[in-house]
Amino acid sequence: MRGADGDQPFSSPAIRTSVAAGPRRSRMSFGSTTRMKQYTIQIDDAVADTVREGAQRRKVSEEQRAAQILAAHHEEFRRFPDGVLREGRQKVIAVLSQVPCLSKFKSSGIDFRYWWVSFELDTTSPIAWRVVHRLGWYLNTQSAEMMLPTVFKPTPGEVPSDPMRWEIASTAPRLDPADVASWLSSNLPQPISDEAAWLRED
């Protein structure tokens, strides 16, 4: 399963469990009530232990806890189907690529959890450090309107001769990069591609 654990309720499942033959595997059978499918899954002991501990903390059965986790993941999949993070990162790049001193963009992400976008900064540009300051203000600090779960930071290359890159990364799961792109587009100097607009920013 992908994604983070959650605490969302699940409606009245009838579930039974049994231990499968062989070491370090547990089997859970999810019985069905009205319009509910039945599944039998095998999980590692470490996962079973996590389910068991969560069930004890919440004072529910292990089967109910497993059903809650599946329900939470279902909601996350609905919000973040395949490709959402990739498309969102491309929107961030589309905004930042308008800034004259930024180039050579890269990005990656882990399912619908964490993601990052990085780029090189032309430090000879007259707006280079204004861009760093503005991105740092909107992505690292408590601005007047929004506190984003992001970090903006420099990232050194593998060897000293590699150029320094700058990175925007999410610090919490389930942050859609498209929301970050929209926030930046609405708050960066306009037009973003105009150096004079950045130089007017004090």
C-alpha to C-alpha distance for 58 and 181, rounded to whole angstroms: 38
pLDDT one-digit tens code per residue, 50-92: 888 888 888 888 888 887 777 766 665 666 655 778 889 999 9
Radius of gyration of the chain (CA): 23
Q: What is the pLDDT of residue 35?
A: 64
Looking at the DSSP assignment, which residues form a beta bridge with residue 169? 116, 151
pLDDT one-digit tens code per residue, 127-162: 999 999 999 999 997 655 667 899 999 998 788 888
pLDDT one-digit tens code per residue, 97-118: 999 999 999 998 876 578 999 9
Amino acid code (one letter) for 28:
M
Angle, vertex CA 30, rays to CA 26 and CA 32, nearest 5: 170
- Which residue in the block uniquely carries the two structure tokens 């089967």? 63
Q: What is the pLDDT of residue 84?
A: 79
For 181-193, b where at least 16 C-beta lie within 10 A, e where not — what string?
bebbbeebbeebe
Residues near 152 by Cβ (< 8 Å), separated by ≥ 6?
135, 136, 139, 140, 166, 167, 168
